[in-house]
Each structure stands twice: as C-alpha cells, then as structure tokens.
Chain A
Amino acid sequence: MNKFVWIAIIIALIAPAIFFILLYNSLSPMLQEEIPENVVVGKRLWQSKGCVECHTLFGNGGYNAPDLTKTVEMRGKDYLEKFFAKPPMMRPHKQRKHPGLIEKEAADLIAFLAFVNEVPIIGWPPEHAKSKADNNSNGAEK
C-alpha cells in the first residue's frame, strides 16, 4: 500500500512539472516580446473597465456581445474611433448606450485591440464567419 502512495505522490509532482515546462516553452517568445507602452495602457484600461464581462477576447469572456479578437481587422481603426467617441445604443437596448471612451483612452484601447488582432492564431475564428461580418449592418451605423 505504502509503495502505491509513493508512486502516486511522484506522479502528482511530475505531472505539473512537465506541464509547466511545456507551457513555459510555448509562452517564452511572448514573455520576451517587447510590448509597446500604449498597448499596455490599453490593456489596463480594458481590464479596469471590465469589458470582458460582455465581450470575449480569444473567445473567453461574456457571451452577449461580439468577440473582439479580430475587430480591428474587420472594422478598421477609424470605425472604432468613431464607435468609442459616439457610442451607439447597445442593441437590443433602447435606452442604454455602449460605454464610451475619451480620445486618448480610445487610442490606447484600439492599440491594444490591434495587438490582440496580430496574435497568431491557427484556424480560429472560422474564416467565412470573419469575412461575412464585414457586410452586416451594425448599431454604429444607425
């Protein structure tokens, strides 16, 4: 019995060790990457405003607003600047507007979203979904 316990303990220690080494190996290029100051400011802003409770990034977050991983590519920066400066009604709300941002904040946040947009992701989001969204109408245009 005691032998089994030792084996279990060793397994329980080796598993995380291998896992974290593999993960570190995958993440180390990103850890070494030079990240521009305004992207970091934008990320802090994204966090402090709690955007993740409605939106997803990389598909993780709240499920009742569009995923923003590829927004910069799909919408373009001008569109986003306008969006934050004059936020539209939040569909399907009739009274509540989307949270707005002042110009400087918007610039930082867009820089952050642009950075996210450039993160290489293989095979996601599914391609056709991305291209078709371009042609769809959106609250901002109303």
Chain B
Amino acid sequence: MFRWLIRKIFGRRQDNPEGQFKTRALAYPFCTFAILFFGFQVIVVTMGAVELIWPNMPAPVPFRSGRMVHLNLSVFWPLIAAMGSVFYFFPKEAKTELNHLTTVRMLSYLFPLVLAAILTSFVFGLTEGREYLEAIRPFDWAVTFVLLLFSFVLTTTYLKKGVPKFRATLLGMLAGSWSLVLLYLPNMLFYAHPSVDEAVKFWIVHIWEEMSMELFVASVIAAFLLSVTSKHRKATETILLLELSFISVTGFFATSHHYYWIGTPSSWLWIGGIFSTLQVLPSLLLIYVNVKDFKKEEINSLSSAEKMAFGFIFASLFYHAMGAGMLGWILALPFANRYVHGTYLTSSHAHFALFGAFGFFALGFAVYILTKELNASPKDYFRLWISYILLNLGLMIMGVALAIAGTLQGYLWRVLGNDFMHTQELILPYLIIRVGGGVIFTGGGVILAWTIAKLAWRNKRKILFLS
C-alpha cells in the first residue's frame, strides 16, 4: 500500500537519455493561452489609456475595473508562459519525463480558467482592494491550488531516481516555484494596520517578480543556451549558481526600496539603497552568461525558431539592464525616490521592467516553443518579426513618454508644490504620446497573438491531444 502510494506520487523512472521527451508537449497549451491573454490585454489597455487623455469617452467598464484587469493580466500571463517554459525545459534537464501528466494537462486549462474568472469578477466590481492582488478570497484559494500543483509536479519529478540533484537549472526552477506559493499564502489574510498591509503586499509585487520570476528567467535561459549552443555545461552552471544566489539575496533585501515611506523605520532607506544597487548585478551577470564565448558563426546555423528566441532574449536582456536595472536603480535611491515616488516615472519603470524584461522573455519562449514544435511557416516568422519590431518601438515610445511625464510630475508637484490635478493637466501631452506608443504596441501585440492563434488552430489536435 505504502509502496503503491510512493510510486503514485513519485512515479517510475523512464530512461530517455538523448531522445525527445514526450511530456515537453504539455507546455503547448500554457504558451498558447499566455499569448492569447497578452493579445487581450493590449486591446483592453489601450482603451484605458485613451480614457486617461479623453475622460469623457463612453467606457464599457469603469476605469477602476479596467485597471484591475490590466494589472492582474500583467502579473499572470507572463507567469503562465513561464510555467510552460519550465515544463518544457525541465524534462531535458532532469533527463526524465515529467510526472503526473494528467495533473499538468489539467493545470494548463485550470490556470487560464481561474485567470478568466478573476478578470470577469473585476468587471462586476468585486475586489479585494489591494493593488495587484485584487482577486477576492475564493480566487486566492484557486491561485494557491494552481501554484501548489505546479510545485508538486516539479518536486516529485525532481525526486525521481537518476535525476541529477545538483543541477543549478533544476534547483532554480524548483526554488522559484515554491517561493511563489509561500509568498502568496500570507497575502490571503486581512491586515488591519495599513503599514503592515503595504509591507506584505510587496512580497508579491516585488519578491514574486524580482526574485521568483528572475529565478525562472535565469534558469530557463541557461537551459535554452545549453540545448541550442555549444556552451560548456559546467561553466554555465557555475555562473548560473552564482547568479541564483545573488538573485535570492538581492530579491529579498531590495524589497526595502518599497519600504521607504510606509511608516517603517528609516533604517530601511539604507537597506533599500544598498541592496537595490547590488540588484543591478544579477542582470549584468545574466547578460554575461549569454555573451560569454558566444560564437557569431553559431547564429547562422540556428533554426528560424531559435533565431526568433534569441531576438526576444536580447530584447529582454536589454530592458533588464536599462528599464529594470538603470531606471529601477535611479528610482531606488532614497533622495530621488522622495520626489518621484508614486509618479508616472514608476509607471515607466513598471512597463519597461514588467513587459520589457519579463514580457519579452515570456513571449519569446512561448513563441519559440510553439513555432519550433508546430512547424511554423516562413510567413509566420516574417509576421512575428514585424510584431517584434512594433512591440519594441511601441514600448520605447510609451516608456520614454511616461518617464518624461513622471519626471515633470515629480518636479512640478513634489518639488515646486503645485496642485496634483493641475500638474496632471500640464503633463497631458506626454500621456497623449504614450497612447501613440500604446497603439503601435497594440498593433504588434495583435499581429503576434493572431499569428500564434492561427498556428495553434492549425495544430489544435497536437495541442489538445498531444498527437
């Protein structure tokens, strides 16, 4: 009985040293849904941004609901894609098939379903009222369940016999998955004291993104490089290990850059300033991993899907260094933060970092997995490159316009002491330019989502039945 249970949970070892791992295919639905959600997001959001510059527009949903939809999508679709990529690379790194195939299949439909339900509830005005964590209690349980299943599948697969236990890629993915669960749980409680509430909220808004997601990004990119280039495993893994340690230290301690003005003692200004400066290091290391003994000739021998993936990875690394690293660092210096805290400069950073660094990563791998495995046509690749250019261009315009708006806002409102609403009128031109960027961005997003949707539709049997 006990043996049976153990076997049920941990599965049998299936040797498959070199061949293709069948369970990789479980990643397809995750990737497809993530891209569809992204396509939906850009459309909804452009309407929200138009409402900010043309307030009397007749809007189908209140701004409040629209913003909740936007924020939750921006956290969850990159996570869905990250899950897909982890499931895709885990078997190869673990040298064994994934466990619990039915669970993974169920998960790939359950998670999008939960997200859709959460978004629907926002339209009806249901909210927990905490930024980024607006889902009401029952949905919190659903999200926890989803994250637990994810961690469970990875952990039991990892514990199988014959899995190399010391592989940094596997450890990074595992640590990422469990930290998601552990940090989400305390966020299901109600905190009466507003300062405590803020502090706990940033375990998601900051640690989820800047630690858990970073762990996935670093490990998945390393696994990808090891599988398509001739990089030396031992050297790559050593750097990855260094990077993972760095991410976990700075990921936690740099949370302090959100604790400057919420009623916590001023010692947090120091912790935040110092660790946020150190936080730039992991993103530089990530670039180093990629560029180190990268051979130019290798690019030419790559397949179209791999070239595409490199394009997205380089975009992601660029925004990592620029939008997350540099801009984040400026924001994190206490004397600068004092004036620009809670202005559009934060919004600029949020878009550069969350979309620039993670969005490009998530889209890149979702697109890579689908185009590679589903045999995309040259025409598809052409469309995807067009969308890639539009997304970059749109994001640049949007982010720079927001950064100017935010800097002006900080100066006019926080330094000169103008009335907030008056400042708002003065920065309107930049918000209009932002919408212009947003429209270009949306164009790219729609082309991308449409191309992938058609590709997925052509291969629906493969995605739905793995055949």
Residues in A lying within 8 Å of B, measured CB to CB = 1-2, 4-5, 7-9, 11-12, 15-16, 19, 22-23, 26-27, 30-31, 33, 35, 39-40, 43-44, 46-54, 56-67, 90-96, 112, 115-116, 119-126, 128-133, 136-139
Contact = CB atoms under 8 A, between A and B. Distances in A.
A122 B338 CA distance: 10
B420 interface: yes
Interface of B is mostly: helix
Given A50-B68, A126-B339, A4 B134 contact: no
B222 to A, nearest CB: 14
B304 interface: no
Given A119-B194, A121-B263, A54 B63 contact: yes
Interface in B250-266: 252-253, 255, 258-266
Contacts of A112: 194
Contacts of A115: 194
Which size bracket describes the interface of B in this complex?
A: 35 or more
B194 A116 contact: yes
A127 to B, nearest CB: 9
Interface stretch (B9-17, B32-40, B238-246): B238-246
B20 interface: no
Given A12-B175, A129-B414, A129-B417, A56 B63 contact: no
Contact of A4 (B125, B193, B196, B238): B238
Contacts of A67: 342, 420
23 contacts: A1-B238, A8-B242, A11-B248, A11-B249, A12-B249, A15-B248, A16-B252, A23-B259, A26-B268, A30-B196, A31-B196, A46-B129, A47-B130, A50-B134, A54-B64, A59-B342, A61-B131, A93-B56, A132-B417, A132-B419, A133-B417, A133-B420, A138-B419
B424 A1 contact: no
B93 interface: no
A113 B249 CA distance: 35
Given A2-B166, A58-B263, A50 B64 contact: yes
Given A30-B195, A47-B128, A63 B346 contact: yes
